[in-house]
Structure 1
Amino acid sequence: MKILTGNDLFSGDVTWWTGHDWSRHVDHAVPLGDDAAAIVAREEAAQRVVSAYVIDATHDGTSVRPAHIKDRVRALGPTVRLDLSLHPDDPQAAAQIV
């Protein structure tokens, strides 16, 4: 599946397209249709997101997993300081990155 990611213009946070808005949580991302370029153009013009791009991902029924390691790190946070990740109390968070 293909999903859309970018960075929030004001906070710099990594964000994921939910179908109608942006979320900090990759599990909220929805599969894209053929309108990815239009979504990127509209959202960047509205200054809600910058550097948006399409990535490959998989969905196992409960969670979305970006295909590339770079995007998994973007989705889940630092690999060396789990206390700074989006899921600091989840011991399985590190396993989701690799």
Structure 2
Amino acid sequence: MRLLTGNDLVTGDVIWWADGDWSRLVADAVDVGEGADAIAKREEAARRVNGPYIIDAEAGPHGPVPLHIKERIRAAGPTVRRDLGIQAAETASESWVI
């Protein structure tokens, strides 16, 4: 499984391609397959995402799980204060352990 990720240009949040739009939740991400490069170029040109890139992931019980530790940390949010960031508002990101 291949996912497309980057950062939102307005907020700086980590975002994931969710089949036609971007989401802050990795659980919403979809497999971009061979179309990843075209999507990344189009979205970056439209100034909807900064630095989009493709990562490897595997299917998990609550959605995709990034294979590399760096991407798992990006998906889970700040590691210093768990009361901040995406994990404070969303419990879905806690469905797997870094």
Q: Could you tell me how far apart the structure 2 residues matched to 1:3 and 1:68 are? A: 12
Contact 1:17/1:29 (8 A) holds in 2: yes
The alpha-carbon deviation at position 85 of structure 1 amounts to 3.7
Runs of 5+ consecutive residues of structure 2 not aligned to the other structure? none
CA deviation vs aligned residue, 1:50-89 (integer Å, no higher than 9, x gap): 1000001111242221111111111011223111142237
Contact 2:62/2:95 (8 A) holds in 1: no
TM-score by length of 2: 0.87
Equivalent residues in 2 for 1:1-98 (5 A)?
1-88=1-88, 90=91, 93=94, 96-97=97-98
CA deviation vs aligned residue, 1:30-68 (integer Å, no higher than 9, x gap): 001211111011000000001000001111242221111
The alpha-carbon deviation at position 95 of structure 1 amounts to 5.7
Q: Could you tell me how far apart the structure 2 residues matched to 1:82 and 1:94 are? A: 14
Percent sequence identity over aligned pairs: 51
Give aligned pairs, total. 96
Letter in 1 for 2:10: F
SS of structure 2 residue aligned to 1:83: coil
Runs of 5+ consecutive residues of structure 1 not aligned to the other structure? none
Letter in 2 for 1:47: R
